[in-house]
Structure 1
Amino acid sequence: MYRQIILKRSIASSNVFTKQAVISNILRNNIQTRFISHTSEKKLSTTGEPTISTNGLHTKITNEKTYLDTLTNNELLGYLVIGLATINRPILNLVIKLFPYTPLWIIRALVYQNYCGGDNLPQVLKTGERLAERGIRNMMISYTVEACDGKQMSVSIEKIIEETERSISEALVPHTVSMIEDVISKVDKSQISKVINEVPPGYVALKPTGLIEHAADILLNYENPKYLDKYNQLLKNCESICEIAVNENRMLKEKYPEREAPFVVIVVDAERNDLQQGVYKLQRDLMAKYNRSATNGKPTLGDACIVGTVQMYLKQSTSILKLDDELAKKGNYILGWKLVRGAYIHSEVDRSVIHDTKEDTDKNYDAGISNTIANMNSENPTVGHLVVASHNGNTQLKATNLLKQLGESKHSQIVRSNVVLGQLLGMADNITYDLIKNHNTKNIIKYVPWGPPLETKEYLLRRLEENGDAVRADSGWPLVKGILSTFFKRVF
């Protein structure tokens, strides 16, 4: 049985026209996709240069030393610690066991800045500025507090909603505007419509289990009339945040009419499978309300300011996407998807819900990417926005190549402005660097968690538990050697 992964998105539409066949052929001729935790296709050679497998061939994707040269000394120190902690599986397991007992000040001093955006919004803005220096022009930010299974949270629900709302108006909007103003200041007026759409939207990730007390019970029993009031309260809490994003998008569209993608997007994060049915209901209700045309006509690309998540390691994922496609057509709204293989493979109790092999999941994930992009590029799209969330270089390069194959028509350019590649802050940075430097990729974001120090420590522990293999694949001894070499060059 295969192992784990992270991030999400997809849609398999039943009527994606002939363009789908063209894109599917491109996909089949492209590189194979891997689970994040099985990144053996992406190897570090003895010279410290990662390679990526392309149908059995290995293509250099970036010089690791060059990538490390772009990091600050503090960032290098953090990655050195991670490299030492992930040299092999036994050491990683030991680190996971000891992590809860490690003093918070040690974690903050060593690795916090590599994986977390900060305690407050000014620190999140600083993180965004640092990402921009590396060519990553926007973020998906998430206030990392949740109350699953009756867990007592360190802050109130009201505080979580307030901080999430503030994160839109006080972090994402000013950062996105700053990125837009930067790119348009460097070109003449004839180029503004192009460069303004090369800046990805800013995203806010909503964790359903962090937006109401006893969230697990509510999501498990969302169809039970006894829980209707509680579900409606969860929906209302989400709508309060969504309204902020909708209003900001409307005001910014008036200021920047050349923009073809949303400025701010709300993403509903996935939960483990037993809770996910309730999450599907939640994201459907939000998309049906907000992913509509401003003129009350047929919605188009760019109208999807709400994005839902589907985990493609689940056998039912394709039927979920088809159902949502049908509901969107009937309801006259447009879908937004975050496509991920699946982040909860280690915690799924019922293993029958997961594809039997990694290869089956890969095929399902590939189909999700190709079908969605084909749908968006069709004459009557039902999907308006896509986030390809993966730490796998093959997956990200595959999506990049599919977008390039669309051509240079006006509609194809709009499609490209509404497809974004996403990765967690602190993970797969060498892949991110390669896509930016060697493939001129503009549409890349990083998932940036922020919030109370104790909660972000728990987030880091979950990353080790759920994505430890991915961290180990990207780190370990090759990373340690590369960092030591970089430090040596800086000293001598």
Structure 2
Amino acid sequence: MFRSRLPLPRSRLIRFINTSQSNKSTTTTTPSTINTVNKSSQNDYTILPNKQTLNPQKTYLDSLSNKMLFSYGAIGLCTLNKPILNLVIKLFPIIPTPILDFFIGKLYVGGSTPSEVIKTGEELSKRGINNMMLSLTIEDSEGTKNIDINYIVEETMNSIETILKPQILRVLTQEPNINEIPPGYIVIKPSALISNPAQVLLNFEKPEWSEQFQQLNKNCEIITEEVVRLNNELSKLYPERKSPFFVTVIDAEKFDLQQGVYKLQRNLFQKFNKPSGFVNVVGTIQMYLKQSFPQIKLEESLAQAGNYRVGLKLVRGAYIHSESDRSVIHDTKLDTDQCYDQGIKYVLSDLEKNQSSATLGHLVVASHNSKSSHIACDLLSQSKSDIVKSNVVLGQLLGMCDDVTFNLIQNHKVKNIIKYVPWGPPVETKDYLLRRLQENGDAVREDNGWKLVKQVARVFKNRLF
């Protein structure tokens, strides 16, 4: 962009200023419209346009600290191409945790303590992201760890009170429209809440595993009862709210375990998603599976017969690279994309038509795909209902696809947007980072790589010069 220069003699400049002052009763001048006057010589001045007109369009990188920019640059270098990414994945287990935390940990993990996660929530709010989907990253899907299930249940339940509740109460004091504040979500990973989870979920219908499956249900119920209690508490203070303040989210597992997860979700739907109230529980549907859209219809049909409501989180699918049976996966990416978008439209259609009595009463569009996000935004923009708009939330993983998040907030004025925020002990969050690199390798490379390195370099250059 060229900088225009308008040299004026001192006498003409003084006359211009005096004339402006004499007309100040009819002309209002604000700091944002005042031109900057610089002395270029003894006899003339140069009037420069306001700096705001010279700055290029801001991106999400421009708002980050130097330390965060450094971390983004590091992940960009790690994802330059497939061989480099594969090498990083191979070396990942032997890299000391403090080094990982220094270079990239803060990008993808909310912290190891509640106070650190609260600070992460505050930083997200500065970017227009007013809530989180909180996930304690302790699990044992293979049944090889000696983890304390009771500790996980208690810590997960406490995090609703110590992290998500302060987060939403803070935002409630800042946002004028209560229905533009997304709920706080608490993730329940079935493989974290029962010993030998793979066998429990795989054999949930067999009598010899019935007791363990019931214990898994009970652990999930304990956490969700806290969600319901807090929703009732805040609803009395804010009766105009059209969506829940907090929601339990049942995370997905690999395909061979998923029937057990579906059964777990239904049990929780039936107990906590009453026809006349909020959707307190959301289940996950992995749209890369050929059966995913029929699964949505099946859940809707079962809910109508059982007189309860369904909440859904639609994901393309974190396990697409590790599924052993490839026949269950859509044949092409296009098929997956079309299935995902079809799911969005189907749920939104029920919400728009039936409002607070909709069987499919709450939707999380968990996607890094800008087209799918825009489809949801376009459909929501056509609705005039607070019930619909407040019960559809868009979300992405912390530290991933921030350009998509930024675009939704800045250009589409999206308010109901969240980030999936993992947190917990450093050893466990390291495992989470490795899984994300393995499971979302394609998304990581697309979102970062050389493109990100150049963007980070540009921001640093602008700051230095």
Q: TM bucket by the smaller chain?
A: 0.7 to 0.9
2:82 equivalent among 89, 98, 114: 89
For residues 347 and 171 of structure 2, what CA distance do their matches in structure 1 show? Answer: 27
1:354 equivalent among 329, 336, 361: 329
SS of 2:121's partner is helix
Q: How does 1:172-191 map to 2 (within 5 A)?
A: 172-184=164-176
Q: Equivalent residue for 2:44?
A: none
1:463 aligns with 2:456: no
The alignment-based identity, stated in percent, is 55
1:235 equivalent among 199, 217, 232: 217
SS of 1:378's partner is helix
Q: Equivalent residue for 1:433?
A: 406
Counterpart code for 1:447: Y
Shift of 1:319: 2.3
Unaligned runs of 5+ in 1: 1-62, 185-194, 293-297
Shift of 1:64: 8.0
Shift of 1:206: 0.6
Shift of 1:65: 5.7
Q: Which has the higher contact order (CA 8 A, sep 6+)?
A: 1
SS of 1:148's partner is coil
Shift of 1:161: 0.7
Contact 1:64 1:430 in 2 (8 A): no
For residues 242 and 150 of structure 2, what CA distance do their matches in structure 1 show? Answer: 33
Contact 1:309 1:340 in 2 (8 A): yes
For residues 462 and 270 of structure 2, what CA distance do their matches in structure 1 show? Answer: 55
CA displacement, residues 368-410 of structure 1 (integer Å, 9 cap, x when unaligned): 000100011113521110000001111111110111122x2xx
For residues 478 and 330 of structure 1, what CA distance do their matches in structure 2 show? Answer: 51
Q: How does 1:3-14 map to 2 (within 5 A)?
A: none
Aligned length: 408
Counterpart code for 2:75: I
For residues 199 and 65 of structure 1, what CA distance do their matches in structure 2 show? Answer: 24
Counterpart code for 1:87: L
Q: Equivalent residue for 2:289?
A: 314
Structure (1 or 2) with the larger CA radius of gyration: 2
Contact 1:208 1:268 in 2 (8 A): yes
For residues 175 and 318 of structure 2, what CA distance do their matches in structure 1 show? Answer: 35
For residues 237 and 478 of structure 1, what CA distance do their matches in structure 2 show? Answer: 44
1:382 equivalent among 341, 359, 375: 359
Contact 1:299 1:332 in 2 (8 A): no
Q: Equivalent residue for 2:26?
A: none
Q: Equivalent residue for 2:95?
A: 102
Contact 2:59 2:403 in 1 (8 A): no
CA 65–101 in structure 1, closer or farther in 2 if over 3 Å, else same? farther
Shift of 1:151: 2.0
Shift of 1:177: 1.2
Contact 1:64 1:482 in 2 (8 A): no
Q: Equivalent residue for 1:254?
A: 236
Counterpart code for 2:189: K
Q: Equivalent residue for 1:118?
A: 111
For residues 338 and 453 of structure 2, what CA distance do their matches in structure 1 show? Answer: 34
Q: Equivalent residue for 1:280?
A: 262
Shift of 1:315: 1.3
RMSD, matched Cα: 1.2
For residues 297 and 412 of structure 2, what CA distance do their matches in structure 1 show? Answer: 33
Give the alignment's TM-score, normalised by structure 1. Answer: 0.81
Contact 1:299 1:334 in 2 (8 A): no
Q: How does 1:318-467 map to 2 (within 5 A)?
A: 318-379=293-354, 381-406=358-383, 408=384, 412-467=385-440
CA displacement, residues 240-265 of structure 1 (integer Å, 9 cap, x when unaligned): 00000000000000011111100000
SS of 2:319's partner is coil
Stretches of 4+ aligned residues off by more than 3 angstroms: none
SS of 1:391's partner is coil
SS of 2:446's partner is helix
Q: Equivalent residue for 1:490?
A: 463
For residues 249 and 271 of structure 1, what CA distance do their matches in structure 2 show? Answer: 27
CA 64–484 in structure 1, closer or farther in 2 if over 3 Å, else same? farther
Contact 2:247 2:282 in 1 (8 A): yes
CA displacement, residues 443-486 of structure 1 (integer Å, 9 cap, x when unaligned): 11000000010000000000100111111111111211111121
CA 64–97 in structure 1, closer or farther in 2 if over 3 Å, else same? farther
Unaligned runs of 5+ in 2: 1-55
SS of 1:90's partner is helix
